[in-house]
Structure 1
Amino acid sequence: MKKNSVRWTLIAALSVAASMSSAAATPPTVDKIYSSTWDHGRIHFQPGATQGYDQFHLSLALDDYELSDGTTWESGAGGYSNLYAAGPTSIEVHGDSIAYRFAQPANGELLYHYTSFMFGDQVAGGNIGTPSDLVVTAKLGGTTATISGYVKVLANDPLWFGDRFRYYSAPVGSSVFFQQTYTLSDTVFDRELFQRAFWYSGSGVIDFTQVASAVPEPRTYALFLGGLLVVGATVRRSRDGKA
């Protein structure tokens, strides 16, 4: 009896040790990526200017990566491309709010191309896309605006980095929370904003821990509503026939 008790105690201890060893060996994943306007500075927008000053930054410079083990790493060597636009494709005013709509990127939804950081022996990278138009909303006459919604993980390929690679905390194909805030320095948000020069700053986050549940695409909604109309018409005809 005593031998069996010792045996089970030993097995339990080995099991706990093995699970702890496995947990310790599991590499952390990227929970969040933080962004800003070039080290939290300001950007100048000027219509018709050269050297990129006529482009509004829809995706900001990547700053820090927050990992699942609680550590934070600065964005280092590697490449990514930002998304820019000379101005919105449409502007809508509803009461005291204003919305600037920027068309979906023409390069296959791409918002960030190979987000990358290298710090010591850790590397991360992947592609992030927007499945729809980007809409910047603000209070009419205010100085702060936001983009808020979900973006899609398009790729998360370790390439040649092997064990050094740190995956996102959400798998490829997931829709994860995305938000950016813009602040104007010398003007306000109104219909004529992109017709004049202004200074702005911004910050944002891509949160791979906030994954959206399956949400139908707009075209799916259209088909769904169309189906309801068809069903409604069929039921109405059936009732009329009975009458």
Structure 2
Amino acid sequence: MGLRRLAATGVAVAMGGALVCGCGPLGADGASGSSASADAAARALIAEASLSFRYVGDSHVDETMNQQLEIKNATRGSVAPVLAFTALDKNHQEMPQVAVTTVYGSDRGGLVVPYGTSWDTLRFSGPGEHDVADVRVTVRSAAAARIPAGMHDVKTQALDSQGHEISRFERFSAVRLTNEDDFPVSVRIAYILWDQPPKGTTQQAVEVTSVGGLTEVPAHGTSVVQVSADAAAAVARNSNGPAVSIKAYNSQ
């Protein structure tokens, strides 16, 4: 948020990947052993099939972030996927030297995706990183989330040491989280520093720091997370700079 608008967009291609299924809870009939494993595998297949993706390099809308992965979940339940990415150039050719990682953790099961639409942010590194036009997405695994995700984004507000609201660009001491949903949600906070690339190049997250840990925010309520340790150092280092974001995302 609060970022300069830059380059073009692409469309992500969803591909089925190898499922990695762990042992799930017993079913309603008390099944165990092979039948429980089969149930877990079936649930994972359903979760995988429910996901679709779209890559948006630049939405051309002010105050929105670059290199966004739109994730749509057609299952009426929250899912924790593990995704893998292949960078593609403008001719839709693979770019094997470019590594693709994420800010919120959809590549490692750290992001919980609700029913409907949610987002992660992609990071590119390696030769040709500025030439990525699209990504191919592979679902390595997908499982029902232990903690349901909210339908609305949890809002963040930077606070000073006295609890007063301040800009995210200033040196803040805490973050207030606000949940608009009818049930409690659990989120993590990412403090993101963005680069300032030349015109025609998408803006990339160059530094991502966690603020606090997994935090529950009550239904239609707020929680306050204090900034300390590595996060405090990052805020001190990057405050008053040109481009930072404080983002909360569903996790478990």
TM-score bucket (shorter structure): under 0.3
Structure 1 or 2: more helix by fraction: 1
TM-score by length of 2: 0.26
TM-score by length of 1: 0.27
Larger radius of gyration: 1
